[in-house]
Amino acid sequence: MVRMTRIKKIAAGSILSAVAVISIACSSAGTDDPVAADTPIPTATAITSENLPGGGSTSTPATVVPTPPAVDLPVSNPVADLTSLEIIKAQEQVLIDLFEQTVDSVVRIQTASRTGAGEGSGWIWDVDGHIVTNYHVVEGATQIKVFFFDGREYDGRVVGFNSQADLAVVKIDLEPGDPIQVSELGNSTDLRTGQMAIALGNPFGQEFSMTQGIVSAVGRLLPSGFERFSIPAVIQTDAAINPGNSGGPLLDIDGRVIGINTQIRSESGSNSGVGFAVPVDLAKRVVPNLIENGEHRYSFIGISGCELTNDTRNGLGVDNMQQGAYITDVSPNRPAQEAGLRADSGSFNLECEPVSAQFNGDLIIGVDGRDVKSMDDLIAYLALNTSPGDDIVLTILRDGSEELVVLTLTERP
């Protein structure tokens, strides 16, 4: 299913790859009788009559004991001592251990619906048998089967979903004594480009497969394919993700879930090195509400905005390094209008280039004391940190002056 231009839903699952890196602590080894680095070496001492044992005079000329020359102690580097083959084997072992430690928390999902059969992946949220997957994996399903790595099979049912984040929760009924391994949650907010990323799932029906790669980018804004609102703070990865991986976990090098594999960008429908995952920090807010209430509600300001271009900066008279979210539209009877936020009275095209702009709108540069660099930043902050009914404080630039605006958030329509 195509969710955006050249972006396909991975209804059968997505696998992210992660390159494993090993950190081997270096230690230094000295001689059989090492000298501590902070031990002082005695300086030369002149022998005179005053410091001879018993004092008195002497006809022997004073002698000087020379300071011994500095000695470079040998340092052993365990990494340098390893052969290339040993380093590769150590990297392999990291991935082997990670797979064996996490595979029991991953499941294969098969669905049947009026339109046919489907397949995807999921992962264990809690000991009660709640499983996180993508909404598009179970959308319209009349039957759901859940399979574990050890061969166990369960019937599943959807207890809640959120199409705006492409997330759903499936519940299985465990028998007393059934083993269940809960996935360990990581942190997606502090991810950095270049970190390891490992994907587990069932691409093309090849169950319980693992791929590895890196975090290619963070903070993407990705259309969900179901709503006009996009998924914020999305993780991009070059780990191999293919149909069948959808709903499966994207892991860090410690085996913690950092994302939920959801889409790929591809000309062919298979992996091309550009995959996307819903950030786990969004799932931390959405999933508990899906389990408890069957739905999740997002906060809403009621504005549309643009990134700053040089033309807009010039029109606003701000520095060419200025960042922020420029308001181009304010919805009636929404928090932004009630708080007095002001939109540009002119117009902008879809690329945020001014068409008939008047440059008299407000520029949002902060929220609750945090910098806002773009509309994506603002959307991500609202989704990851706020709920309807919360008060927030916006920092805006209006007519060249900085102002604070307090508003109360409502629910997305």
> What's the CATH code of the domain at 312?
2.30.42.10
The total number of structural domains in the chain stands at 2
Q: Are residues 6 and 143 in the same domain?
A: yes
Which one of 262, 281, 296 terminates a domain? 296
Q: Which of 14, 105, 166, 224 is catalytic?
A: 166
- 376 a catalytic residue: no
Q: Which of 136, 252, 344, 374 is catalytic?
A: 136
Instruction: Enter the tokens of residue 170.
Output: 């499936």
- 136 a catalytic residue: yes
Rounded Cα gap, residues 281 and 187, in angstroms? 6
Q: Are residues 224 and 122 in the same domain?
A: yes
In angstroms, the first-to-last Cα distance of the chain is 25
Rounded Cα gap, residues 365 and 125, in angstroms? 36
Domain with 324, as residue range(s), is 299-411
Please give the chain's pLDDT, 413 residues, in tens.
333 333 444 443 333 333 333 222 233 333 333 333 333 334 434 433 344 344 444 444 444 555 556 556 566 666 678 888 988 898 899 999 999 999 999 999 999 999 899 999 999 999 999 999 999 999 999 999 999 999 999 999 999 999 999 999 999 999 999 999 999 999 999 999 999 999 999 999 999 999 999 999 999 999 988 888 999 999 999 999 999 999 999 999 999 999 999 998 876 666 677 999 999 999 999 999 999 999 999 999 999 999 999 999 999 999 999 999 999 999 999 999 999 999 999 999 988 889 999 999 999 999 999 999 999 999 999 999 999 999 999 999 999 999 999 999 999 98
Rounded Cα gap, residues 200 and 149, in angstroms? 12
Rounded Cα gap, residues 283 and 166, in angstroms? 10
Rounded Cα gap, residues 323 and 325, in angstroms? 7
- 246 a catalytic residue: yes
> What's the CATH code of the domain at 110?
2.40.10.120
Contact assessment for residue 191 and residue 216, using Cβ atoms and an 8 Å cutoff: no
Closest Cα partner for 122 from 134, 135, 139, 112? 134
Q: Are residues 285 and 329 in the same domain?
A: no
* CB-based burial label for 213 (10 Å; 0-12, 13-18, 19+): buried
Q: Which of 121, 188, 209, 246 is catalytic?
A: 246
Q: Are residues 230 and 370 in the same domain?
A: no
Does residue 69 sit within a domain? Answer: no
- Which element (helix H / strand E) includes 122? strand 116-124
pTM score of the predicted model: 0.78
